[in-house]
Amino acid sequence: MHSSFRPRLAPLVLAALCSAGIAQAQGSNAVAPTPVQVRPEVDQAYTQLMAAPAIAELLEAVKADHARSIEDLRLLTEIEAPPFKEQARAEAFLARMKALGLTDAKIDAEGNVVGLRRGTGNGPTLLISAHLDTVFPTGTDVKIKERDGKLYAPGISDDTRGLAVLLSWLKVLNDRQVRTTGDLLFVGNVGEEELGNLRGMKRLFAEHPEIDGMVGIEPAPQGAVLVLGTASHRYEVTFKGPGGHSYGAFGQVPSAIHGMGRAIAKIGDIRTPTFPKTTFTVGTVGGGTSVNTIAPDARMAVDIRSDEMGPLLETEKQILAAIDAGVAEENKRWGVDTLSVSTKLIGDRPGGRTPSDSVIVEAATRANTAFGQKTLLSGASTDANVPMSLGIPAIIIGGGGKTGGFHALSEWIDLTDAWKGAQNSLVTVLGLVGVEGVSAPLLANRPAGAKR
Ligand SMILES: [Zn+2]
């Protein structure tokens, strides 16, 4: 983690939500409006952008492209994209990207669609992304149904709307010949949803050390800015022993279940900080053969989460030590060494936070103000977890439209005036990379040494 990193947000202003997306801030997990101070250079950049005729025309073009962009949304939504099976949708997204002007765009080794729109030079590189994958398995009915002015389909808002917004931005920037100073790396990535473990973003940041910041598009109310990425590690733990008759073998063999019980008791006593919020639980247990058998096997699943990597890794260390200690005690109790344990990491999402006084958060806040929106800082587990864990400025914002029902078959989007959100988020992006003849880039180029 970046050495100068420190939390600047009171825990009360953040709600750590699940991986479904920050749009849940619309519901019972709503977070309070958060005052973010905006430094003069940020204010100036957005004042210049909003006053420039070229940008006014660009924003008009976003509005004018609204109906066409819904065709992209329809096309992509109706191509299934279960975790690890994003390829068909990736190819369709790549074809659209190429048709709209990024002729060098490619699918990388992990399955991400990556296209670079070059700036005029010497500016920062900003990753702008939406994820290709949905939570829905192969065979799910992804045909769009229209009802009460809403479009219903699994994955339509999380995150296919984000993909369509990226394509719309690409089209209008090219049509209006807007030249940014920094480079825009357009990405439709794989592996955001649970078992994907952020594999798409992990690959991108490993292969693109030139990235200076990230703005991800996810379903979220206009004004929401995600700044917190809760990290999680999950383990499957398996205890194995010889087993034996509960009467006949008594005294000669250790019990896998007793050993696991000793481990769980020690895990239950571990203390974690309340801020940054750090949690753990043994979520499931299983094992044993019958009531009159000394158990030859036992297994449990453990979930560990934190809003920062340090406390996560410390808690993980203590849990792994507790597991070994439980096994050692059980063996010692019977004077044997025949109980063993294996641990398997089944979930690995890094995390972190983007400070509320960083330029990227101030930029989003100022752009929201320009669109008459109050800024809400929020948290969730998203693609932004990866850059946050690397100390690279990252936020997730909405792309317009009212959305709901994420991860359910009844997922929907209401696209009434959705172009307003697409304008707002595009302006956020433009301030960060700068526009030739209008405003200087706000996002700093990371020092070469920081780029591995
Ligand atoms: Zn999502």
Give residue 338's Cα distance to chain centre. Answer: 42
CB 306 within 8 A of CB 277: yes
CATH of the domain at 327: 3.30.70.360
Ligand 1 centroid to residue 21 C-alpha, Å: 5
Residue 403 is assigned to a structural domain of this protein: yes
Taking the centre of ligand 1 as the mean of its atom positions, its distance from the CA of residue 154, in whole angstroms, is 12
Q: Where are the alpha helices (DSSP H) in 269-417?
A: 309-334, 359-370, 385-389
40 upstream amide cis, omega within 30 of 0: no
Q: Is the same domain home to 120 and 99?
A: yes
Q: What is the pLDDT of residue 24?
A: 38
Residue 143 lies in a domain: yes
Number of domains the chain contains: 2
Task: For residues 125 and 51, state if they share a domain.
Answer: yes
Q: Helix, strand or coil for residue 423? A: helix
Question: Whole-angstrom distance between the N-terminal and C-terminal Cα of the chain?
Answer: 14
| pTM given for the model | 0.85
How far does the centroid of ligand 1 lie from the alpha carbon of residue 255, in Å? Answer: 43
Count of H-run helices and E-run strands, the chain: 11, 19
Domain that holds residue 272: 231-349
Q: Ligand 1 mean position to 406 CA, how many Å?
A: 8
Rounded to the nearest whole angstrom, what is the distance from the C-alpha of residue 26 to the centroid of ligand 1? 15
Residues in CB range of 33: below 8 A, 6 or more apart? 374, 375, 376
Q: Are 439 and 428 in contact (CB under 8 A)?
A: no
Tell how far the Cα of 159 is from the centroid of ligand 1, in angstroms: 5
Domain C-terminal end among 349, 374, 408: 349
- Reported as type and span, the H/E element at residue 304 is strand 297-306
Do residues 101 and 215 both lie within one domain? yes
CATH of the domain at 30: 3.40.630.10
Query: How would you write the pLDDT of the chain (452 residues) with one tens digit per residue?
Result: 222 222 333 332 333 333 333 433 333 233 445 678 999 999 999 999 999 999 999 999 999 999 999 999 999 999 999 999 999 999 999 999 999 999 999 999 999 999 999 999 999 999 999 999 999 999 999 999 999 999 999 999 999 999 999 999 999 999 999 999 999 999 999 999 978 999 999 999 999 999 999 999 999 999 999 999 999 999 999 999 999 999 999 999 999 999 999 999 999 999 999 998 999 999 999 999 999 999 999 999 999 999 889 999 999 999 999 999 999 999 999 999 999 999 999 999 999 999 999 999 999 999 999 999 999 999 989 999 999 999 999 999 999 999 999 889 999 999 999 999 999 999 999 999 999 999 999 999 998 877 75
Which pLDDT score is estimated for 448? 81
Query: pLDDT at position 440, please?
Result: 98
**Do the domain assignments include residue 5?**
no
pLDDT of 384 reads 97
Which domain-ending residue is among 319, 349, 379?
A: 349
Does one domain contain both 49 and 151?
yes
Q: In a 3-state reduction of DSSP, which class is residue 111?
A: coil
Asked whether residue 247 falls in the same domain as residue 187, the answer is no
CA distance 114 to 201: 11
Domain stop point among 322, 349, 376: 349
CB 93 within 8 Å of CB 115: no
